[in-house]
Amino acid sequence: MKKVQQHYDEVADVYDDRYDGRRGKCYHRHISDHVMRELPKGGFLLDLGCGTGLFVQRYVEEGGRAVGLDISPGMVRHGRQRCPESGFFVGTADVLPFKDATFDALASLLAFSYVPNPEAMLRECFRVLKPGGRIAVCTLSRTAFTSIVPIAYQMGVKVGLKKVGVGDFDEHYYTNAEIAELFEDAGFEDVSVSRCSFAHLNLADPVFNLARKVEPFVEEKLPYLAYNVCAAGKKPEN
């Protein structure tokens, strides 16, 4: 995780540039939509791997309260600037600095794949959620396309490419069955898993535009081609 922290501290000042352009906004909005529809509106949210607070901002704008936690002090600093009314904390998800049954909702966007001990993270998520609270995680899925990404990223590291998210971090790409089992073993019920995002941010413009057009069809009919997996569940009421 030290490599992940160092990388995101280095790119913290330019991280938001990744999502400022048309492609970036489309991509982040799309995966945010998948996560938002799984969470209660107007609740108290914890965003794990919150980055610069993009999802915290959206949840608050839609009527909720939120705090964020990230391993990178640089990201947390930008989150505090973006959402000064929300709390942001530096830390790791396997030991959360919050009391039992604190949150109505818990989210994580594009960070779960970096977690070295997902079982410990989900146990902590279960602990800090209120009974009946919901969790939604969007992370990297294992597909024919993503199988070559680690190799490309390793090459990028060797040539000194400085780009957000590009690095050799030993990240894990999840199948639907793998992430569903993790959620169920942690105690969550009503677990659902879907694939999302065929139009990935890193695609060249002509390819991205085509991918956007066919994205709804891919997610419905050919989900195994989608770049991300979105898993959701509920902490039992009792």
- Torsion, Cα 211 51 18 197, to 10 degrees, reads 0
Here the CATH number for the domain that contains residue 226 is: 3.40.50.150
Average pLDDT over residues 122-127: 98
Above pLDDT 70, what percent of the chain? 82
Report whether pLDDT(118) > 80.
Answer: yes
Average pLDDT over residues 210-228: 90
- Report how far apart the first and last C-alpha atoms of the chain are (Å, whole number): 35
Q: Extract the tokens encoding 21.
A: 């352009």
For residue 163, what are the domain limits? 2-234
Please give the tally of structural domains in the chain: 1
pLDDT digits (tens, 9 = 90+) for 91-105: 999 999 999 999 999
Question: Looking at residue 59, what is its pLDDT?
Answer: 98
Question: Looking at residue 165, what is its pLDDT?
Answer: 46
Any idea which of 36-50, 113-127, 192-206, 218-232 has the lowest mean pLDDT? 192-206
Question: Looking at residue 100, what is its pLDDT?
Answer: 98
pLDDT digits (tens, 9 = 90+) for 162-195: 554 444 557 889 999 999 999 999 999 999 999 9
pTM of the model: 0.87
CA distance 126 to 132: 10
Q: Are 211 and 198 in contact (CB under 8 A)?
A: yes
